[in-house]
Structure 1
Amino acid sequence: MPAARESLLDAAYTALARRPWSAVRMVDVAAAAGVSRQTLYNEFGSKEGLARALVRREADGYLAGVERALAGGCGDPRERLTATAEWTTSAARENALVRAMLTGCWSERLPSPTLMAVPSSSAVPAQRRADGPLPSPGDLVALVRDRAVAVLNGAGTLARPNAPELARSCELAVRLALSCVAAPPAEGGVAELVRTALPRQLTA
């Protein structure tokens, strides 16, 4: 991603942490990023385009964290899924946009771009991607589940074929994490819940 675009997204994210999206001004975002307002409009087209690009970047960042959790050093599939669940809850706790994407609950402070694709005439490839469909909560659950299944199947740590059981276990870990986002557990956290709920031997 070009440096100017990344700086503008950083500036927009910082502005959103300080004030509601409705009060974030494009001129202030451009100034904070050290670029002209024209550069901002060239990159994103409009404030809605900036919002979509910001949401897309935060979704991509969350999914990159999922990849890191699944690739962790421990070979135990249960521990990899536990790490994924822990990442999900911590990302949602620390990032309001990730929380909104995972739960579908967009507060009045946040931008709430339509999840459907919007017409895009942008010459910027990254913006054309941002103008495409954004992931719904169900999409994110499916993406994480399917990625977990693929990683664990390829890890060489699973003993015998049982794809439905593995897929159920992967989805269970994600959905337990989401329940902890909506209603944080009093004790033990998501890790204890996931370790207790998943079968001791996961098989692919």
Structure 2
Amino acid sequence: MPTAREALLDAALAAVTGRPWPTVRMVDVAAAAGVSRQTLYNEFGSKDGLARALVRRAADAYLDGVERALGSAGGTGDKLAATAAWTVRATRTNVLVRGLLTGCWGDRLPCPADLVRSPRFPIPAQRPADAGPPTPAELLGQVRDRAVAVLDGGRPPHDPAALAVTCELALRLALSYALVPAPAGTEGEVAPLVSHVVERAPDAAA
């Protein structure tokens, strides 16, 4: 059974999926979660606090999926194909992940200016802590670097820069599907496309 906090976050995500965030009322989120409005304020403090938690949860869930994909069976091509497929699926099923990966926030989504980043999103030294959520370029770079670290383990000497380029290509192919969605039910087409590219990339041996 979900905790009150998780129920509230689920209710908030359902609300923002259906209507603009500025029109979402705290009392409606609390009612949908089956708790009192006071419980909501006790958990998050304010609507901005709820927004921060909502975006952070979406980001962490996406990164957890990346870890699972990179830990799947197979070689470099298989792991990157799984990561790309997960990225496309995540952007299709969660509007906040789509915002994080594409920068397409608009005024419909909660994107508080003072969003505090979790440790999963280390803040670059040149950017202030209140600069908002990670930019798509920062997030892509973090996922790319994580992919390189995982794929580099136990491999023979090679060119790390070439592996980084291969990982970034796979991620950018996935993001192209996020920006220009494939027809419903064909998200998996990105996986063979990534496998095809990886097989022909330098230093992409399993």
Which TM-score applies when normalising by structure 1?
0.82
Contact 1:89-1:180 within 8 A present in 2 as well? yes
**Count of equivalent residues:** 191
Contact 1:82-1:191 within 8 A present in 2 as well? yes
Amino acid at match of 1:138: A
Distance 2:4 2:177 in 1: 36
Contact 2:20-2:109 within 8 A present in 1 as well? yes
Distance 1:190 1:79 in 2: 12
Which whole-Å deviations, capped at 9, do the CAs of 1:75-105 have from their partners, x for residues lacking one?
x111100110111011111111111110001
Distance 2:76 2:114 in 1: 32
In the alignment, which of 165, 174, 177 is matched to residue 168 of structure 1? Answer: 165
In structure 2, list runs of 5 or more residues that go unmatched: 119-128
Deviation at 1:114, TM superposition (A): 2.3
Name 2:83's counterpart in structure 1: 84
Which whole-Å deviations, capped at 9, do the CAs of 1:36-75 have from their partners, x for residues lacking one?
212211221111111111011001111111111111122x
Distance 1:116 1:139 in 2: 15
Contact 1:85-1:173 within 8 A present in 2 as well? yes
> Residues 149, 95 of structure 1: CA spacing in aligned structure 2 closer, same or farther, 3 A cutoff?
same
Which whole-Å deviations, capped at 9, do the CAs of 1:147-171 have from their partners, x for residues lacking one?
11111122x3x33322111111111
Deviation at 1:33, TM superposition (A): 1.8
Which TM-score applies when normalising by structure 2?
0.81
3-state DSSP of counterpart to 1:198: helix
Name 1:202's counterpart in structure 2: 204
Name 2:181's counterpart in structure 1: 184
Name 2:151's counterpart in structure 1: 152
> Residues 172, 179 of structure 1: CA spacing in aligned structure 2 closer, same or farther, 3 A cutoff?
same
Distance 1:152 1:37 in 2: 47
Distance 1:22 1:37 in 2: 17
Deviation at 1:26, TM superposition (A): 0.4
Contact 2:199-2:205 within 8 A present in 1 as well? no
Amino acid at match of 2:158: P
Amino acid at match of 2:80: L
Name 2:31's counterpart in structure 1: 31
> Residues 166, 100 of structure 1: CA spacing in aligned structure 2 closer, same or farther, 3 A cutoff?
same
Deviation at 1:115, TM superposition (A): 6.5
Which whole-Å deviations, capped at 9, do the CAs of 1:131-185 have from their partners, x for residues lacking one?
975222112101111111111122x3x3332211111111111111111211235
Structure 1 stretch 5-14 or stretch 192-201: which is displaced more? 192-201
Name 2:126's counterpart in structure 1: none
What pairs up with 1:19-98 in 2 under 5 angstroms?
Answer: 19-74=19-74, 76-98=75-97
Amino acid at match of 1:102: L
When the two chains are superposed, the root-mean-square deviation of aligned CA atoms in Å is: 2.8
Deviation at 1:116, TM superposition (A): 5.5
What pairs up with 1:95-106 in 2 under 5 angstroms?
Answer: 95-106=94-105
